[in-house]
Amino acid sequence: MADGLGGAGGARRLNLLILAVGKAGQSPEAELCGRYMERAERIGRSLGLSSVTVREFSEAVGPTKAALEAEKIIGARKPGPLVVLDETGTPWSSADLAHRIQGWLDSGHANVTFAIGGADGHGKAVLNAADHIVSLGPMTLPHLLARAILLEQLYRAVTIRLGHPYHRA
């Protein structure tokens, strides 16, 4: 099933960057995130995935907290699509995400940035800059759990594109 997917010998390479407000530290969630990040990178190479990276920012303080965090996210994003996780967004299925990743590869994008906000959500600048605003569901999630879910879904999306048995729809 991997034909035409921009395999390791192909020119198309895609870097996935996750910008996250809040530090994971030495938590069980951080360990889980690391596991899925490593799996996605390892299996994703044959698809054309170069790297999956998480960059963390400390939570800002004060009344303009979301705006300060938004400045950090906007300043750190890479050229290419910006996917913002927000409770007001459109839900994507695992298959939708897999299809989007393939589309980004086919379109020649080198980078896709995902943004996970802090406790007060995203500032308007991030929401306005977003190419896609995506919801992980109607429940409020701790940001570390949202990060783990996103990384698992990125791994799952890669396995879907490759026909790997991890995803059994």
The answer to whether the annotation marks 17 as part of a ligand binding site is no
Is residue 1 a known part of a binding site? no
Query: What gap in Å lies between CA 46 and CA 69, rounded to an integer?
Result: 35
137 a known binding residue? Answer: yes
141 annotated as belonging to a binding site for a ligand: yes
Q: Is 28 assigned to a binding site?
A: no
81 is in an annotated binding site: no
**Which residues participate in the annotated binding site for S-adenosyl-L-methionine?**
85, 117, 136-141
**Which residues participate in the annotated binding site?**
85, 117, 136-141
